[in-house]
Amino acid sequence: MVEVQSISKSYGLKAVVDDVSVNIQKGKITSFIGPNGAGKSTLLSIISRLMSADTGEVLIDGQKVNETKSRDLAKKMAILKQANHLSLRLSVRDLVAFGRFPYSQGKLTKEDHVFIDEALRYMELEDLQDRYLDQLSGGQKQRAFIAMTIAQDTEYILLDEPLNNLDMKHSVQIMKVLRRLADELGKTVLIVIHDINFASVYSDYIVALKDGKVEAQGTVNEIITTLTLKQVYGMDMSIQEINNQKICVYFS
C-alpha cells in the first residue's frame, strides 16, 4: 500500500500540493483527476521521489520513500513522466532493456531478456523492437516507454498522463494493458489522467484534486457524480450510464 501522509509542497508562496493525505489500495488502478494546475503531476513526482516534499511523508509498504535506497525503490516502483524527448540513437528493445537496470546494472542476463520479451509482447511492440526511437510515431514511442516500466517488473507503476498524444485506439489499448497488469499480475497502478471518461471506465478508485487539495476520493461510483465533478471542475456535466459504464457528457 502507498500511504501519502499530509504532503505539502510550495513554489515560493504558492502551495502546489497542500496537506494531501491519500491511501492507495494494492492491486487496483487509482486515477488522479482534476483541472490543470491542481497539483496532480507534482503529487505523483513526490510519491515517486522525483521531487521531495516540503512536509509530510510517503510510505510504500510501510517504508519511508525518502529513507529507502534508490536502487531498492526502483525494483518496487516505476515512474514514467510525460514528455520524453530523447535525441539518442536507441532502438525500442534497447530502451525496454533499460528497465532491467535496477536488477542487472547494465549487464543483461537470460532472465532479463525474458522480461524484455514479455514487456514487448504486452505492449505489442515485437514487430517494432529493432526500430529506432526517432523513427516512431508519438504513440509508438509512448508505448515503448511504458514497455520499459513494465520490464522494470515493479509492484507499483506510476504514469503521468500516459494517454497524451495518443488516438482512441492506442489509448484504449494502453488502458487495457494497465487493467491486465492490475487484474492478472496484481500490480498497483497510479495514473494522472485528463480524460475523465477513461478514468471512469478503467479505474477502480479516483482521487480528485483541486488547488493542491484533495477534493474527493473514492470508488468510481462515488466520484463520477454531477455534484462531485461540479465541485472539482466547476462545470455542469450530465452523467449517462451506457453499457453499465458511467460516461460524462461535458459538451455544453
Partner 1 sequence: MREKGKLTILIVLAAASIVGYMFIELGPNWDYALPRRAEKIAAIVLTGTVIAIATLLFQTVTNNRILTPSIIGLDSLYMLVQTTLVFFLGSTSLTVMNKQVNFAISIGFMVVFALILYRLLFRREGQNIYFLLLLGLIFGTFFGSFTSFMQVLIDPNEFQIIQDRMFASFNNIQTEVLVMAAVITAAALVYLMKFFKYLDVLSLGKETAINLGVDYDYTVKRLLVVIAILISVATALVGPITFLGLLVVNVAYEMFKTYKHSVLIFASTLVSIVALSGGQMLVEHVFTFSTQLSVIINFVGGIYFIYLLLRESKK
Provide the binding-site residues for partner 1, judged by CB under 8 A: 48-52, 70-75, 78-81, 84, 86-90, 94, 98-99, 101-102, 105-106, 149, 152
One-letter amino acid for residue 101 of the chain: F
Of residues 13 and 88, the one with the C-beta less far from partner 1: 88
C-alpha cell at 112: 532479463
One-letter amino acid for residue 149 of the chain: T
Q: In the complex, what is the shortest distance from the CB of residue 63 to partner 1, in angstroms, rounded to a whole number? A: 15
Q: In the complex, what is the shortest distance from the CB of residue 145 to partner 1, in angstroms, rounded to a whole number? A: 8
Q: Where are the alpha helices (DSSP H) in 33-152?
A: 40-47, 70-74, 92-98, 101-104, 110-122, 138-151
Helix (H) or strand (E) holding 47: helix 40-47
One-letter amino acid for residue 146 of the chain: I
Of residues 151 and 223, the one with the C-beta less far from partner 1: 151
Q: In the complex, what is the shortest distance from the CB of residue 110 to partner 1, in angstroms, rounded to a whole number? A: 19
Task: Give the span between the Cα atoms of 145 and 225, in whole angstroms.
Answer: 33
Of residues 146 and 208, the one with the C-beta less far from partner 1: 146
Q: In the complex, what is the shortest distance from the CB of residue 79 to partner 1, in angstroms, rounded to a whole number? A: 5
Of residues 187 and 210, the one with the C-beta less far from partner 1: 187
- Check if the beta carbon of residue 151 is closer than 8 Å to that of residue 145: no
